[in-house]
Structure 1
C-alpha cells in the first residue's frame, strides 16, 4: 500500500466512523442551545456571554448564531454527507457500468469507432450542477417532505443525471477489452454473451470501476457544495424572511457551509470549521483515488528483464 492510499483510507475511515457513530460522540443534544448569561471575567468586570459563542472548553468548535453547538451539528450531519455521497456514487457506477458494459459488448468493435453514442453525450454540454439545481430548487425551500425523504429524492436526481457520464467511459473500455484475443477465443468456443460480460469484461474492468467509484464520490461531494452556495441544501432548506436566513434541516456539511457563508467576516469559525471537515473528506477520497491508480499502475506495469 502506497502512502497516498494509506493517508486517504485513514481520513475516509475516520469520516465513515463519524457518520456511523457521530450522534453517540456528540457532546450535546441537537436541540441544545447556548444560553445568554452574565459572568465576572478575569478582570473582575461584569461580562456577557451570548451566541454565537467562539470555540471554548464548553464548545470546542463554538456555536452558531442560534446557540447550536457546531461539533454536534457536524456529527449529526455526517451521515447525510458521507452515506448519500457513497450511495449516489455506487448507484451511478452500478447502473451506468452495466449499461456501458452491454453497450460496449453489443457495439461495433472497430477500434476507430470507440466512441460513446450521441444520446449518452447529450447532457455533456450542460453543467450537471445547473440541471440538478433546476430540478430540486423548487422542492428544496421549506419542503413539506421529511428531511430523509428529501435527501433520497435529491440522491435519485444525482444518480439519474450522472449515469450518462459513467456509461461513456465504461463503454469505451469494454469495446477495447472485447477485441482482445481471450474474449475472441471464448466467443469462438461458444460462450454466451452474458458469460463473456460476467467472466471476461467485468473482471478486466473491476479496478477501473473502483477508481471510477471513488471519483464519482468526489464529484458528488463537489455538487453538494455547488448547490449549497445557492442555498439548496441536501435534505431541504429552511428559509426565514425576517431576517432572511437559510438553514440546513439535516446539518449536511455543505449545507452548514452554505448557511454560514455570509458570516465570513464576522464569525469565521461558523464557516471555516464545517469547511475544513468538508474539504478533508474530499481530500481523503482524492488521495484514495490517486493511491489506487498508483497501486494498479505498479501492479500491472511490465518491466524488461535481462
Structure 2
C-alpha cells in the first residue's frame, strides 16, 4: 500500500469537502461578530481564543476564524487548481510541439543574456510588480481580481511548463518505438497522439500536482507583500491590509503581526494553509513512488 499517496489524497479530499460543504455545519455565519460582553465581573473583548463556541477563535473584530477559512477556501483551492490546469494545458501543448518538431539543442545555442537575467528574478517579485498597482482597494469585484491574478500567474508559468515538457518530449522522440512508427509511415500528429502523449501522462500528472504546490507557495509569498487573491483592502490610521476574500494565504499575511499576541489568529489559517500544501506534496511523492514501482524493470533468469 502506498501510504504516502493515500495520506495525501485523504488530506486533499477533506479540504475539498470542507470547502464545498463546511459552511453547512459551521457554528457561526461569516458576517456574525462576537460582541464585547461583561459577565461575572469579567470583561470579554475580541479577539476570543479557541473555545467550544468558537473552535478556532475569532479575529480582533470578533469574526469566527473557522467561518472565514471556510469562506476563503474556494479562492485558495480553486484558483490554484485553475492556474495549474491552464498552465499544464497551454504549456504542455506548446512543450509537446516544440519537443517533437523543434531542433535539438546544441552546445553553441545559448539563451540570450536578457533571458538569463529574467530567470534570476524570483517569480513572486515579477507578479508583485504587476499586481501592486491594481490590488489595493480595487474597484473591480473580488472574483474579477482573482481572475486577473490567475491570468498573470498563468502567463508567467507557461514558459517553465513548456520548457519541461519540451525536454521530456525530445527524449521520447528519440525512442525506438517512435522511430519505428515514423519508419512505417505514421504521421507526426498520429505519433504524438498515439505514442508520445501516452508515455507522458504520468509525468503530466506529477507535474500538475507540483504546479499546484508551487502556486500555493506563490500565494504565500505574495501575501507577505500584501498582495492577496481577490484584492487587498487597505485601511488608514493605522495602516492595515485585509484580504477581501478571506483566502488562506491572505489570512496568514494580514495576521502576521499577531505572532507574539493572540497567536491563534495567525496559526489557525497558517495550519490550514500548510496542511493543504502538505497534502499535495504527499500526493506528488506518492505518485512518483507508484510509477517508479509500476514501471520498474526486474531482470529475470
- TM-score, normalised to structure 1's length? 0.94
Q: Deviations over 1:268-306 (max 9, x none)?
A: 000001000000001111000000000000111111112
Aligned twin of 2:93: 98
Q: Are positions 1:135 and 2:167 aligned together? A: no
Give the number of equivalent residue pairs. 301
Instruction: Tell me the distance in 2 between the aligned counterparts of 1:182 and 1:37.
Output: 75
Give the deviation of 1:121 after TM superposition: 6.8
Q: Deviations over 1:160-212 (max 9, x none)?
A: 00111111111011001011111112112222222111111111011000000
Instruction: Tell me the distance in 1 between the aligned counterparts of 2:168 and 2:110.
Output: 10
Any conservation in 2 of the 1:38–1:48 contact (CA below 8 Å)? yes
Aligned twin of 2:22: 22
Give the deviation of 1:123 after TM superposition: 3.9
Instruction: Tell me the distance in 1 between the aligned counterparts of 2:126 and 2:200.
Output: 30
Helix, strand or coil at the partner of 1:231? coil
Which one of the candidate residues 172, 188, 192 is aligned to 1:177?
Answer: 172
Aligned twin of 1:2: 2
Which one of the candidate residues 79, 85, 98 is aligned to 1:84?
Answer: 79
Higher deviation after alignment, 101-110 or 270-279: 101-110
Instruction: Tell me the distance in 2 between the aligned counterparts of 1:7 and 1:251.
Output: 27
Instruction: Tell me the distance in 2 between the aligned counterparts of 1:302 and 1:112.
Output: 33
Q: Are positions 1:276 and 2:276 aligned together? A: no
Instruction: Tell me the distance in 2 between the aligned counterparts of 1:291 and 1:106.
Output: 33
Aligned twin of 1:266: 261
Aligned twin of 1:151: 146
Aligned twin of 2:228: 233
Give the deviation of 1:8 after TM superposition: 0.5
Aligned twin of 1:68: 63
Any conservation in 2 of the 1:109–1:178 contact (CA below 8 Å)? no
Q: 1:120 to 1:83 in 2, by over 3 A?
A: farther
Give the deviation of 1:23 after TM superposition: 2.4
Instruction: Tell me the distance in 1 between the aligned counterparts of 2:269 and 2:251.
Output: 6
Aligned twin of 1:303: 298
Instruction: Tell me the distance in 2 between the aligned counterparts of 1:186 and 1:118.
Output: 39
Any conservation in 1 of the 2:27–2:53 contact (CA below 8 Å)? no
Q: 1:103 to 1:2 in 2, by over 3 A?
A: same
Q: Deviations over 1:195-241 (max 9, x none)?
A: 11111111101100000000000000000000001111110111111
Any conservation in 2 of the 1:33–1:68 contact (CA below 8 Å)? yes
Moved over 6 A (4+): 110-122
Aligned twin of 1:206: 201
Any conservation in 1 of the 2:84–2:211 contact (CA below 8 Å)? yes
Any conservation in 2 of the 1:64–1:270 contact (CA below 8 Å)? yes
Any conservation in 2 of the 1:186–1:196 contact (CA below 8 Å)? yes
Q: 1:108 to 1:21 in 2, by over 3 A?
A: same
Give the deviation of 1:29 after TM superposition: 1.7
Instruction: Tell me the distance in 1 between the aligned counterparts of 2:207 and 2:108.
Output: 23
Q: Deviations over 1:227-275 (max 9, x none)?
A: 0011111101111111211110100000000010011111100000100
Helix, strand or coil at the partner of 2:53? coil
